[in-house]
Structure 1
Amino acid sequence: MTTEVRDHYESAPDLFHSASWIGWDELSAVDWDEPALTHDARVHEYRYSPEHGWYASGKSFQNLDGRSEGDEWIREGRLMRVGRMTRREAVHEDSEWAPVRATMKSLADVHGAEYVRLVAWFDN
């Protein structure tokens, strides 16, 4: 963390917490197709299109009612599935994080992967 970023983080200890970081060398080595350790607590919803078949349309927090990973059922014309997400599904390549990854890659191309990292923290 630079001095300026650290000073900003430390300026509001009641507001900012849980600082973390990841280097481009680590991020670029991630296996985006690796599945999560456990199944998702949300039910994955899919809609049907004659042109594309079943496609992901969202997730919902609903009672799994004893269902387990791999269970599927149809509700109101939607396919419902209890599943395990991959990292790619959790952080889509075209998500709001895409510009961050692109910037990190550009900086790494110029300065070296070991010199680029993303620093983040949470606020209340």
Structure 2
Amino acid sequence: MGVDIAGWIECRQSFVLEGEDTPWQAAIDLQLLFPGRSYDAFACLFGIQNYANFRPVAAERGLPPDASPQVREEYQRWGEAFGTSWISWAEIKAIDWEEPAEQPDARIHWYEQAEDGSLVYKGKAAWDRDFAEAVGHSLIEGVFGARTWPEGQEWKIKGKIYRSERLRRKDVLSSWKAAFQVMEALASNYGDDGVRMIVWFYW
């Protein structure tokens, strides 16, 4: 069972609507903008499922006390949510997307060699039977998130090439593309500090 993300993008009005106690208003459901699941994207901003070893930008801040009524109501319905946090568009704009993770990825990246000699990226995993046997680990617990390997270390095993690699923040940008585009557009009306993303995670 994997981890997924939920939440909202909010905008801050210059006034408080009648009958409400906060100027923040729910703008769009994040689940409309974040397709699928990307642990590296979760890790980069919020430190969730952080196998990539990023320094999280906005981890575990909780639900803002001035969250909009709609967001508060929806959040209460989740019950089992965890990792709740938020981040403003101003903070996102200030991120150095070239910044590398603090350590190499805890997952091993693997490639196959094409006929022309070039390497074709096939994926990354916390555990692979051939790799585990080659490095002396027979159980998932022996590899899964338990250690990292020196960056650039490489193994050639049964026709596959395994590498220890370090991600950069820019490697997750495509996952956030739609959400960031919406936040940027809203910021043109509400200001960079007047747009924020509120998130929580669930199994």
**Shorter-chain-normalised TM-score: which range?**
0.7 to 0.9
Q: For residues 19 and 53 of structure 1, do their structure 2 counterparts lie closer, same or farther at Cα, with a shift above 3 Å needed?
A: same
Q: Give CA-to-partner distance per residue, 1:14-38, whole Å, 9 cap, x none.
A: x223310111111111111111111
- Distance in 2 between the 1:51 and 1:42 partners? 27
Cα deviation, residue 73, structure 1: 2.1
- Distance in 2 between the 1:52 and 1:3 partners? 58
- Distance in 2 between the 1:5 and 1:54 partners? 46
Among candidates 72, 88, 91, match of residue 6 of structure 1? 72
- Distance in 2 between the 1:68 and 1:40 partners? 10
Cα deviation, residue 111, structure 1: 1.7
Q: For residues 4 and 70 of structure 1, do their structure 2 counterparts lie closer, same or farther at Cα, with a shift above 3 Å needed?
A: same
- Distance in 2 between the 1:73 and 1:79 partners? 6
- Distance in 1 between the 2:120 and 2:195 partners? 36
Aligned residues: CA RMSD? 2.5
- Distance in 2 between the 1:51 and 1:21 partners? 47
- Distance in 2 between the 1:52 and 1:98 partners? 33
Cα deviation, residue 52, structure 1: 9.6
Aligned twin of 1:27: 92
The unaligned stretches of length 5 or more in structure 1 are none
Aligned twin of 1:94: 174
- Distance in 1 between the 2:89 and 2:192 partners? 5
Q: Letter of the aligned partner of 2:195 in structure 1?
A: V
- Distance in 1 between the 2:184 and 2:158 partners? 43
Q: Letter of the aligned partner of 2:169 in structure 1?
A: R
Q: For residues 4 and 61 of structure 1, do their structure 2 counterparts lie closer, same or farther at Cα, with a shift above 3 Å needed?
A: same
Give the TM-score normalised by structure 2: 0.51
Cα deviation, residue 108, structure 1: 1.2
Report SS of the residue matched to 1:99: helix
Report SS of the residue matched to 1:68: coil
- Equivalent pairs, count: 120
Q: Give CA-to-partner distance per residue, 1:30-60, whole Å, 9 cap, x none.
A: 1111111111111112334467933432102
Among candidates 82, 107, 111, match of residue 164 of structure 2? 82
Instruction: Answer 1 or 2: higher relative contact order, Cα 8 Å, separation at least 6.
Output: 1
Residue 69, structure 1, aligned to residue 151, structure 2: yes
Cα deviation, residue 4, structure 1: 1.3
Among candidates 69, 91, 106, match of residue 185 of structure 2? 106
Q: For residues 44 and 8 of structure 1, do their structure 2 counterparts lie closer, same or farther at Cα, with a shift above 3 Å needed?
A: same
The unaligned stretches of length 5 or more in structure 2 are 1-66, 137-148
- Distance in 1 between the 2:98 and 2:117 partners? 22
Q: For residues 11 and 55 of structure 1, do their structure 2 counterparts lie closer, same or farther at Cα, with a shift above 3 Å needed?
A: same
